[in-house]
Amino acid sequence: MRQHRGRWSRSTGAVLAAAVLASTAALTLAGPASARPTTSNPATASVKSTQRGPNPTLAMIEASRGPFATAQQNVAPGNGFHGGTVYYPTDTSQGTWGALAIIPGYTARCVNQPAPEEAWMGPWLSSFGFVVICIETNSPNDFDTARGQEALAALNWLTTRSPVKNRVDPNRLSVMGHSMGGGGVVYATEHQPSLKAGIGLAPYSPSQNMSSDRVPTLVLGGQNDPTVTPSYLKGLYATMPSTTKSAFAQIAGADHEFYRTANNVMMKLVIPWLKIFVDSDNRYEQFLCPKLPDAAKISIYQPKCPYI
């Protein structure tokens, strides 16, 4: 495995890859989700539409900026997480906005130097009408459980004590994370089922599977990911309850580092997912159901349509 810009060493990658192989075996023993009892999904019950922005087009969601101007503020460490950056729409005429916490992967940084990995996502997603907090973890070596706890702490701070708290709808919150940060998404969705959406980018979860997930969850993987392998990810996703609104997509040719670079391949899935489940905006379902309008770079797509 090649050097991960000074932080993702061969030894780190080997340890995580070995752990993934062990987890794959454990997930196989868990059995299919359809064999386990399920309950209704609170995230899709009694929702009220909060449509924002013009009628969407494919060209619109392919663009690197949406219809809303944005601003950003740095966040100091404290309040249960190690700071980060908040990105938000500057428009105050639309009411409050849904919010998203982004969790970086193992040893990675979300926005801080020397090599921020998810900072590109903040302005992009906030310009589509979301308050986005890209968090740093208390330790770069935090595992999935700690990362999930830190994301939930960040959302609590965002809605109760942050300078932008009056811009955020506390009832429309979501989480997204990469690798071990995606494992944090698994933790967060299972421990705070009131979340409206979860998105795992090559999620790795050594502590749990997805059998208790009732939050609408999108799982993205890379066809050529040697770390969170396709077989591991398919096994993890197979533990998802059959009644949970979810989708699995594999990006053609993508490796584990794919999500560190700005791209609209994943955003054409992420933006509609957030719009549908955080904003209850049925105008965006056309980009996910019954099939993708542009699947040229997607090698596997398994939705559970319809979503609304």
In angstroms, rounded to a whole number, what is the distance separating the alpha carbons of residues 119 and 124? 9
Catalytic residue among 23, 246, 256, 281: 256
CA 300 to chain centre: 18
Does residue 179 carry a catalytic annotation?
Answer: yes
Give the pair of three-digit tokens for residue 197. 């959406």
- Count the Cβ atoms, other than its own, within 10 Å of residue 63: 15
Measuring CA to CA, which residue among 260, 23, 277 is closest to residue 175? 277
Catalytic residue among 179, 205, 212, 246: 179
In angstroms, rounded to a whole number, what is the distance separating the alpha carbons of residues 121 and 235? 27
Catalytic residue among 142, 213, 225, 281: 225
Give the pair of three-digit tokens for residue 291. 């099939």
Dihedral pair phi/psi, residue 135, rounded to 5°: -100, 155
Does residue 225 carry a catalytic annotation?
Answer: yes
Q: Are 127 and 70 in contact (CB under 8 A)?
A: yes
Active site (catalytic) residues: 179, 225, 256
